[in-house]
């Protein structure tokens, strides 16, 4: 049996844009559990009190699914993991020359072995289960790698993790290392954590599993340090295709991908295997004709297995430039979820209805001077993409319009002229307080309603 430990909530926070709040982490953990992962890796509790609280919240949200939290081979780090409530601690230490030179100058291999032994023993005394990782495993001489893992196993580590920290190994090299570890550490579970710097993480993970690895480390959308790590959806779909691990709830993978993409402000590209917008989209005439007769002719799996539908609809912008010019239409905001009719007229400047394939939504609302603007016509809502508010008053230099803007759990008084940038995944709304002018809303999606993120669990 192959097991998946998803490390979006640890590795993902090390990506260029991945900073998950406590609430966002709980949302992600909830969907990960529903999608069938076997364990969740979350954070490094010793970093600060906020990280401790975040890990503890994920432990509670994960329920019966075990949570593993990271720790250096240091007593204080391990104590923090125990305090967080996580069942597992992921102790890591580099033992090769690069690691010793950059992090532990002057330490001998014997010193490091003692540190491994003491750390694992301390964790076991605290009642923690232990996974031990040799950081930068791939560039560590095999004899040193095996020696370090054997020290950890003798001290009580139940699982060892082979980490290709810089993503340099080819699949056959990964296979060879795992076969050597399987021989050297019989009866001990082996996990692989492979980075995608060379684009080989998925292939390397499959090779590792073929060689006898028990666990694979993944992240949603492959999110992680630099180029990221093995993509969760891609691995889960491939294991199902191989018949070695059935999809537990494949229909949730697009929702999970979209949620993590929004919270990390790093949506997967349209060609991302399994979850990308275009990966079940057929365009060539020959392909379209064949797929309409038998979808299997150009589809490696049934898209419905992963919550998708195939399409042969031609996408893209209209060819003629004059078709890109739109005459704004007055349309009530009541067409939008979380909206009601508001003050003044709402002009739809562009969306996919008027310029197909534009993938941009922009409206301008003419706000008249009123005695009472009401309690507001917009409820707090969340987009999967970035968006923008612009407020322009009627007075000189665009002054004269007063509003209240909600961002997250805070509300700010705003005077025109003003622009408000709203990152993907942030709850937001606005209310007119006084004056007259123009409000502009721009969203990086061609269909407003489909850009909205529903609360996690609303589709159960």
pLDDT, one tens digit per residue, over 15-33 is 887 789 999 999 999 999 9
109 belongs to a structural domain: yes
Same domain (yes/no): 257, 399: no
Same domain (yes/no): 309, 177: no
Collapsing DSSP states into helix, strand and coil, what is residue 367? strand
Same domain (yes/no): 309, 330: no
The structural domain count of the chain equals 3
**Residue pLDDT, tens place only, 242-275:** 999 999 999 999 999 999 999 999 999 999 999 9
Structural contact between residues 37 and 29, judged by C-beta atoms closer than 8 angstroms: no
d(CA 355, CA 457): 33
| Nearest Cα to Cα of residue 240 among 254, 227, 251, 224 | 251
Pick the catalytic residue from 287, 338, 339, 428: 287
> 96: phi > 0 → left, psi -120 to 50 → alpha, else beta; which?
beta
d(CA 380, CA 36): 31
Structural contact between residues 204 and 228, judged by C-beta atoms closer than 8 angstroms: no
166 belongs to a structural domain: yes
327 belongs to a structural domain: yes
How much is the pLDDT for 122? 98
81 belongs to a structural domain: yes
CATH code of the domain covering residue 337: 2.60.120.10
Structure letter (DSSP) for residue 390? E
32 belongs to a structural domain: yes
Full pLDDT tens readout for the chain, 460 residues:
899 999 999 998 888 877 899 999 999 999 999 999 999 999 999 999 999 999 999 999 999 999 999 999 999 999 999 999 999 999 999 988 776 665 666 677 788 999 999 999 999 999 999 999 999 999 999 999 999 999 999 999 999 999 999 999 999 999 999 999 999 999 999 999 999 999 999 999 999 999 999 999 999 999 999 999 999 999 999 999 999 999 999 999 999 999 999 999 999 999 999 999 999 988 888 888 898 899 898 999 999 999 998 888 776 789 999 999 999 999 999 999 999 999 999 999 999 999 999 999 999 999 999 999 988 999 999 999 999 999 999 999 999 999 999 999 999 999 999 999 999 999 999 999 999 999 999 999 999 999 999 888 665 5
Residues counted in the chain:
460
Is 287 one of the annotated active-site residues of the chain? Answer: yes
277 belongs to a structural domain: no
d(CA 231, CA 239): 12
14 belongs to a structural domain: yes
Structural contact between residues 204 and 164, judged by C-beta atoms closer than 8 angstroms: yes
Same domain (yes/no): 253, 297: no
pTM exceeds cut of 0.95: no
Same domain (yes/no): 33, 86: yes
For 113, the domain range is 3-264
CA dist 386 → 227, 329, 451, 452 (Å): 22, 24, 10, 11
For the residues of 20-32, what is the DSSP string, one character each?
A: --HHHHHHHHHHH
**Residue pLDDT, tens place only, 305-320:** 999 988 887 767 899 9
């Amino acid at each position: 049996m192959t097991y998946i430990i998803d490390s979006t909530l640890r590795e993902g926070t090390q990506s260029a844009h991945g900073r998950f709040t406590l609430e966002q982490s709980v949302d992600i953990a909830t969907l990960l559990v529903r999608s069938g992962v076997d364990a969740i890796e979350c954070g490094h509790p010793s970093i600060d009190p906020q990280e401790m609280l975040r890990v503890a919240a994920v432990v509670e949200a994960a329920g019966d699914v075990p949570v593993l939290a990271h720790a250096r081979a240091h007593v204080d780090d391990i104590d923090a993991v125990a305090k967080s409530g996580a069942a597992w601690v992921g102790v890591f230490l580099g033992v090769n020359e690069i690691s010793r030179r950059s992090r532990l100058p002057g330490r001998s291999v014997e010193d490091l072995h003692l540190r491994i032994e003491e750390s694992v023993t301390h964790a076991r005394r605290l009642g923690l289960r232990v996974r031990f990782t040799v950081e930068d495993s791939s560039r560590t001489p095999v004899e040193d790698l095996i020696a370090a893992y054997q020290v950890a196993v003798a001290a009580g580590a139940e699982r060892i993790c082979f980490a290709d920290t810089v993503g340099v190994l080819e699949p056959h090299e990964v296979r060879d290392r795992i076969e050597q570890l399987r021989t050297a550490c019989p009866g001990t579970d082996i996990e692989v954590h492979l980075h995608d710097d060379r684009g080989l993480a998925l292939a390397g993970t499959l090779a590792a599993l073929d060689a006898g690895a028990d666990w694979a480390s993944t992240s949603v959308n492959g999110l992680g340090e630099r180029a990221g790590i093995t993509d969760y959806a891609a691995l889960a779909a491939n294991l199902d295709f191989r018949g070695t691990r059935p999809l537990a709830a494949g229909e949730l993978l697009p929702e999970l991908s979209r949620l993590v993409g929004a919270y990390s402000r790093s949506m997967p590209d349209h060609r991302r295997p399994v979850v990308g917008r275009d990966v079940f989209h057929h365009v060539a005439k020959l392909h379209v004709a064949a797929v309409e007769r038998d979808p299997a002719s150009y589809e490696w799996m049934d898209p419905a297995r992963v919550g998708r539908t195939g399409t042969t609809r031609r996408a893209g912008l209209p060819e003629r430039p004059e078709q890109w010019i739109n005459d704004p239409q007055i349309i009530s905001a009541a067409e939008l979820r979380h909206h009601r009719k508001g003050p003044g007229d709402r002009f739809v400047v562009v969306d996919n209805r008027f310029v197909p394939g534009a993938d941009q939504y922009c409206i301008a609302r003419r706000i008249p001077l009123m005695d009472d603007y009401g309690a507001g016509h917009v409820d707090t809502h969340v987009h999967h993409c970035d968006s923008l508010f612009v407020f322009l008053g009627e007075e000189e230099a665009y002054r004269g319009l007063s509003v209240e803007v909600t961002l997250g759990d805070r509300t700010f008084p705003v005077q025109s002229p003003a622009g408000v940038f709203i990152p993907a995944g942030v709850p937001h709304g606005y209310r007119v307080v006084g004056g007259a002018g123009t409000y502009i809303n721009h969203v990086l999606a061609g269909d407003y309603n489909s850009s909205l993120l529903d609360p996690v669990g609303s589709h159960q």
